[in-house]
Amino acid sequence: MPLGRTNYLTIGAGAAVIAASFWGMAIERQVDGFFALNIAPFLLIGAYAAVAVGILIRPRKH
Protein backbone atom coordinates (compact mmCIF):
# COMPACT_ATOMS: atom_id res chain seq x y z
CA MET A 1 0.00 0.00 0.00
CA PRO A 2 1.42 3.40 -0.90
CA LEU A 3 -0.26 5.06 2.11
CA GLY A 4 -0.02 3.94 5.71
CA ARG A 5 -2.31 4.15 8.70
CA THR A 6 -1.09 7.62 9.66
CA ASN A 7 -1.81 8.90 6.16
CA TYR A 8 -5.38 7.64 6.23
CA LEU A 9 -5.98 9.03 9.72
CA THR A 10 -4.67 12.45 8.69
CA ILE A 11 -6.75 12.50 5.51
CA GLY A 12 -9.83 11.33 7.42
CA ALA A 13 -9.40 13.96 10.12
CA GLY A 14 -9.00 16.67 7.49
CA ALA A 15 -12.09 15.49 5.63
CA ALA A 16 -14.08 15.43 8.88
CA VAL A 17 -13.08 19.02 9.70
CA ILE A 18 -13.98 20.12 6.15
CA ALA A 19 -17.41 18.51 6.46
CA ALA A 20 -17.95 19.98 9.93
CA SER A 21 -16.98 23.47 8.75
CA PHE A 22 -19.39 23.43 5.84
CA TRP A 23 -22.07 21.96 8.09
CA GLY A 24 -21.49 24.76 10.61
CA MET A 25 -21.84 27.38 7.91
CA ALA A 26 -25.06 25.75 6.70
CA ILE A 27 -26.47 25.75 10.24
CA GLU A 28 -25.65 29.43 10.71
CA ARG A 29 -27.42 30.42 7.43
CA GLN A 30 -25.81 33.86 7.33
CA VAL A 31 -23.25 34.99 4.80
CA ASP A 32 -21.86 37.58 7.20
CA GLY A 33 -22.18 35.49 10.37
CA PHE A 34 -19.43 35.06 12.94
CA PHE A 35 -18.64 31.44 12.12
CA ALA A 36 -18.67 31.96 8.34
CA LEU A 37 -16.38 34.98 8.46
CA ASN A 38 -14.05 34.31 11.39
CA ILE A 39 -13.76 30.61 12.13
CA ALA A 40 -14.61 28.58 9.02
CA PRO A 41 -11.92 30.04 6.72
CA PHE A 42 -9.13 29.07 9.12
CA LEU A 43 -10.62 25.63 9.74
CA LEU A 44 -10.98 24.99 6.02
CA ILE A 45 -7.45 26.10 5.14
CA GLY A 46 -6.03 23.96 7.94
CA ALA A 47 -8.14 20.97 6.95
CA TYR A 48 -7.15 21.18 3.28
CA ALA A 49 -3.52 21.46 4.39
CA ALA A 50 -3.97 18.38 6.59
CA VAL A 51 -5.34 16.42 3.63
CA ALA A 52 -2.36 17.51 1.52
CA VAL A 53 0.07 16.51 4.27
CA GLY A 54 -1.72 13.19 4.64
CA ILE A 55 -1.16 12.51 0.97
CA LEU A 56 2.44 13.69 0.84
CA ILE A 57 4.03 12.24 3.99
CA ARG A 58 5.81 8.94 3.62
CA PRO A 59 4.73 6.05 5.81
CA ARG A 60 7.39 4.67 8.14
CA LYS A 61 9.11 1.44 7.21
CA HIS A 62 9.21 -0.97 10.14
Q: How far apart are CA 33 and CA 21, in angstroms?
A: 13
What Å distances lie between residue 35 and 14, 17, 28, 46, 49, CA to CA? 18, 14, 7, 15, 20
Q: How far apart are CA 41 and CA 3, in angstroms?
A: 28
Phi–psi pair at 8, nearest 5 degrees: -65, -35
What Å distances lie between residue 46 and 2, 25, 36, 60, CA to CA? 24, 16, 15, 23
pLDDT tens, the chain, 62 aa long: 789 999 999 999 999 999 999 999 999 988 899 999 999 999 999 999 999 999 999 887 76
Q: What does the pLDDT read at residue 19?
A: 98
